[in-house]
């Protein structure tokens, strides 16, 4: 078993792709909405850890919220969902520590293409 000396290291935030969010289990629109909500919570965690500026996090969360609202409609508009997800991705793309969130947003866009 490997042992790593982590003394003196300070990690303020680390996106855990293997955590609660699991896009591979998404089978339908409701599953996708649930996972997108978890991703929004992850953005909030990154804001709390001061990895993402509060204003930027608010803008990203807004775009994700709008995508969720559209996806939850009885007749959702795929283009609108993709626009909101794309805007959220573009907003956060410049934050190196949030690259896992960008990757997750790209996966969301992929799933929107196949489910809507």
Task: Tell whether 19 is covered by a domain.
Answer: no
Q: Using alpha carbons, select from 23, 28, 73, 64 the residue that is nearest to residue 44.
A: 64
Task: Tell whether 37 is covered by a domain.
Answer: yes
- Parent domain of 80: 26-115
Q: How far apart are alpha carbons 16 and 21 in whole angstroms?
A: 9
pLDDT digits (tens, 9 = 90+) for 2-15: 554 545 544 444 55
Task: Tell whether 61 is covered by a domain.
Answer: yes
Tokens of 99: 């690259």
Task: Tell whether 7 is covered by a domain.
Answer: no
pLDDT digits (tens, 9 = 90+) for 37-81: 999 999 999 899 888 999 999 999 999 999 999 999 999 999 999
Domain count for the chain, please give it: 1
Q: Read off the pLDDT band of 94 (50, 70, 90).
A: confident
Task: Tell whether 16 is covered by a domain.
Answer: no
Q: Using alpha carbons, select from 95, 16, 112, 25 the residue that is nearest to residue 55.
A: 95
pTM of the model: 0.82
């Amino acid at each position: 078993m490997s042992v790593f000396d982590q003394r003196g290291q300070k990690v303020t935030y680390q996106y855990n792709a293997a955590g609660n969010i699991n896009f591979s289990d998404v089978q339908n629109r409701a599953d996708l909405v649930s996972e997108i909500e978890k991703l929004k919570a992850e953005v909030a965690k990154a804001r709390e850890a001061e990895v993402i500026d509060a204003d930027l996090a608010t803008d990203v969360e807004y775009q994700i919220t709008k995508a969720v609202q559209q996806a939850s409609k009885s007749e959702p508009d795929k283009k609108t969902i993709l626009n909101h997800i794309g805007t959220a991705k573009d907003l956060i793309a410049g934050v190196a520590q949030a690259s896992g969130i960008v990757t997750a947003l790209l996966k969301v866009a992929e799933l929107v293409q196949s489910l809507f």
